[in-house]
Chains A and B, each alone.
Chain A
Amino acid sequence: MSLPTRRQVLQAGGASLVAALAGCSGEVSSSSSDGPHGPTPDELVTDYDALTVRNEAESAIFRDAAREDEDTESSYLDDFLVTTDEERADVEFAAEPDGIDEARAFVDETDFDAQTLVITQHRTDACHRVKLLYVTHPPDSAVHLDFCYPLRPASVECSVEDRHVVASLVRLPYSSEGESSWGHGGGSSCRLPPSLRTETEDA
C-alpha cells in the first residue's frame, strides 16, 4: 500500500510533506531525516590552484595528441587528467587565445611528484563564464570537479549567439600517478549543495 510513512507525515519542513506525498509527481524527493545529500566537507579538496582561459571562438583550446582521431578539426572537446610527464606531452595547444602563455606555464610548472593537473573544456555562450564551484575527492573514489555558469559582468560586450570555449586548469595538491578515473559536472546554479554549505560557503 502506498501510504506515506507516519514519520514523513510528522517530519518538520515543507519538503518532508512533499516527500510524504511523493509518488503524485513520479519524482523522488529527499527527506529531511536523511540529512543533506551530496559530497561531505571532509571530501573537499580546497588547496588547489586554478586558471581559466577563454577562446572567443567555438574551437578547442587543448587537444589530446594521443587521441586517435583523424579529424583534427573535430568539434570534440578533450578533457584531461594529467598525472605524469608522459601524459603532459599529450596535452597539445590547439588555439592561441589571450592568456595562453599563462596556461602554458601553468601546465609546464606542474610537478607530478606532488601534484595532479586537470584540464576541462566547456562550451558556453559569450555572456557567461565558467566557475569552478568545488572539488571533491572521496576516499576510494575519483576526484570530481563541479562547475557552474554565472553571467559575465554587465560591462562585457557580448552576444548570447556567440559561442566560446572556456578551459579550466586545476592543479591538485597531490600526486595521482596511475590514476585514470575522474569526473566533472555542473549546473546553472552556483549554490553549493546543502551538504557543503555551512562549512565552506564563506571560505
Chain B
Amino acid sequence: MPRTRRDVLASLAGVGVAGLAGCTALNSGESESDDPALDPAALREVMELGSPAFPARVPAPIAESFLERGRARARELLDSVPETMSPEEVPNEAVRNAYAEAYADAAEDLERTAVDESPFEALRGLRYARGAAAMAKGTYDAAVGDLTEADVRDQAESVRADIESFQRATRYLGDDPDRALVVYEAVENLVAGAVRSLDNADEYGRYADSAPRVGELLDAVESARASLDGARHVRDRYLASIADPVDFTGPFEATASSLAEIIADRLSEYPEEEGLEPVVEAEGFDTEELESMPAKDLLVETFVEFGSGVRTVREALRSDRFATALVGAHTAETHRRAFEDAVTAIKRGRYESVESAAAVRDAKLGALEALEAARSDRSNPHLTRRALVDIAHQIGRGDGYFRDDYYEDGDPRAARNALAQYATTEFAARETPGASAWVLGTLAAESGGVGR
C-alpha cells in the first residue's frame, strides 16, 4: 500500500520512530517452521478481539476555536489559489501536473481534519493541513511569478527567530508535576517538530529549482508555524488553567540529568560488546535455541526500547528539552524492567513456543488487562497514560501480523510474532505505573516536594 503524504511527513518529522520498532519479528521469517499448526479461525478471533484506543492527549484544555482557526488558515491558503492552472498562465505541463497533485493533497488533508480524533491529535495534525495548503499556494504563486525561493527563505528565518524566542521565554511553570511534565513534553515535541520541518525542507524535497520547490519550502514554513502555534496554545492554555504556578525548571533539569546518569549506569551493567547476542547470552540463554521462540522478539523489543529511551534522554538533554528527557527516562526504565521481567519469565519456561491459538489469545488478553490496569492506576495518571500511548500500539502491531501480506492466517510464524508483541505490551504496561513513580518520585526528591 502506498504511503500517504502524511505518513511520509510524519516519519520525516521523526514522530514515527516508535513505529519503526516492532518489525524484528519479520526477521525470523524462515520458510520452514517447526511451529505446530494452529487453527486459523481461532487466530482470526484473537485479532478480532480488537485494540484499545489510546489517542494521544495532553492534560491542557485545547480550545476548539484554536483548531477551527487552524483549519480556517489552511482553507484560506487553499482558497486563495485556483484548483487548476491554465496552460495560458503556466505553459509548463509538468509544473501544472505537480500543482494539481499538490492541490488534491491539500484538499484531502483538509478533509482529514474532520476525522474523529482527540483535540491534541487534531492540533498536531493541523501542520499537515496547513503545510499541504501552503505547498499548493507556494507552487502556484511561484509559477505565476508572485513568489520566489528567496522570499520563502526569508519567511523561514523569521519563523526560526520566533521559535527561538518562544524557547527562551518558556519556563516549566505548572501545578502538579505529573501534569506539568506531560504538558511540557508535548510543548517540546511540537517545538522540535517545528524545527525539524525547517531543517528537513532542504533534505527531503522532491523538486529542485522550480515553482514546486518554492511550494515545498512554503509547506515547511507553514508546517513549522502550525507546530509553533500549537506549542504556544498548549502552553498558554495550561498556564491559564492553573492559579498559582510553581517553577519546575530547576527540578526538571536536575532530575533529567540525574536520571540520565542512572539509566546510563544501568545500561552499562549489560555487556558492551558488539551485538545483542552477548546481552542475551549473559542472561544464560542459548541464542540458537531462542531463534524460533516468541521469547526472542520479546527480549529484543524490550531491550531495543530500553536503548531507544536512553538515546532520547541523551539527545533531549543536549537541546535542553528536560521534559522530553524525563519521559525518555521513563521509557528506558519501563523497558529495562520489562526486559528483566521477560528474562525471568523465559527462564521459567514461558514463551518458548506457541502451543495453541488459545495461548495467543491469552497473551493478548494479558496485554489488554495490563494496559487497563495501568490506565486505571491513579497515582500518576498523566505520565502513565502518556507512556501507555506508545505501548498500546503494539497490540495493533501484533494484530497486524495476522493481516500482514507476509502471512496467511494459519501461519505459525504470524502467531509467534503476534504473541511476542502482545507479551511485550503486557510486560511494558505492567511496569509503567512503577516507572512513573520512579520518575516523579525522583523529581519530588530533587525539588523538595514541590507541588505535592
Contact = CB atoms under 8 A, between A and B. Distances in A.
Nearest to A23: B27
A17 B94 contact: no
A127 B290 contact: no
A12 B92 contact: no
Nearest to B299: A3
A3 B208 contact: no
A6 B95 contact: no
B143 interface: yes
Interface of A: 1-7, 9-12, 14, 17-18, 20-21, 23-25, 125, 127-128, 131, 148, 150-160, 188-191
Nearest to B273: A6
B24 A21 contact: yes
Contacts of B412: none
A2 B29 CA distance: 11
Interface residues of B, number: 61
B276 A191 contact: no
A2 B276 CA distance: 9
B307 to A, nearest CB: 4
Q: Determine which residue in A3, A14, A131 has the highest number of CB atoms from chain B within 10 A of its CB, and name it.
A: A3
B304 A154 contact: no
A154 B91 contact: yes
A109 B279 CA distance: 66
A1 B288 contact: yes
A160 B94 contact: yes
B278 A155 contact: no
Contacts of A18: 20
Interface string B1-39: 000000000010010110011111111100000000000
B210 A154 contact: yes
Contact of B95 (A3, A11, A127, A188): A127
Contacts of A14: 11, 14, 16-17, 20
Given A1-B291, A14-B20, A151 B207 contact: yes
Contacts of B280: 1, 3
Contacts of B20: 14, 17-18, 21
Interface string B141-180: 0111000000000000000000000000000000000000
